[in-house]
């Protein structure tokens, strides 16, 4: 066996020094040779006329298979327009099938679905009794 008197800790230290030096060279290369500006860097955000005219969603309430507006007046579903987004408020007990059926019956509507609070449920139940 050949004993050259090498210290294993010195070899580990040399390997770590080489790794550190390699990382330093790569970091310097990345800092000095940065890429040219990309198209994404040159884009500026401007508000267009369509953004300025964002429409406020119309509130519709679906309660016990009937549709109401925000003033609790009954609405005919044939009068709904696709020009304005619609927030459809539904009772917590509505099934997924009922919501999906409404969306399938009105595929052109821009719908957002929200859950009614218990206070709204009480108001609607009172309105339907009259």
Would you say 78 and 105 are in contact if contact means Cβ atoms under 8 Å apart? Answer: no
Q: Where are the beta strands (DSSP E) in 15-103?
A: 58-63, 66-68, 86-90
Cα(117)–Cα(123) distance, rounded to whole angstroms?
10
Full-model pTM: 0.54
Question: Considering only CA atoms, which of 70, 129, 62 is closest in space to residue 90?
Answer: 62
- Residue 89, classified by CB atoms within 10 Å of its CB into exposed (0-12), middle (13-18) or buried (19+), is buried
Give per-residue pLDDT as tens, 45-103.
555 555 545 778 888 888 878 888 888 888 887 777 778 888 888 888 888 888 888 88
Please report, for the chain, the start and end positions of each structural domain, with discontinuous segments joined by +. 50-129
Please report, rounded to a whole number, the percentage of residues in the chain having pLDDT higher than 70.
Answer: 79
Q: What integer pLDDT is reported at residue 49 of this predicted model?
A: 52
Give φ, ψ of 88 to 5 degrees: -100, 110
């Amino acid at each position: 066996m050949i004993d050259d008197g090498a210290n294993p800790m010195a070899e580990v230290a040399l390997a770590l020094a080489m790794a550190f030096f390699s990382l330093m060279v790569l970091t310097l290369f990345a800092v000095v040779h940065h890429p040219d500006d990309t198209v994404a860097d040159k884009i500026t955000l401007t508000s267009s006329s369509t953004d300025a005219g964002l429409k406020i969603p119309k509130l519709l309430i679906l309660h016990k298979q009937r549709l109401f507006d925000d003033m609790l007046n009954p609405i005919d579903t044939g009068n709904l327009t696709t020009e304005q987004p619609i927030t459809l408020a539904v009772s917590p007990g509505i099934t997924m099938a009922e919501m999906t059926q409404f969306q399938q019956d009105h595929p052109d509507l821009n719908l957002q679905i929200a859950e009614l609070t218990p206070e709204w449920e009480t108001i609607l139940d009172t309105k339907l009794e009259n």
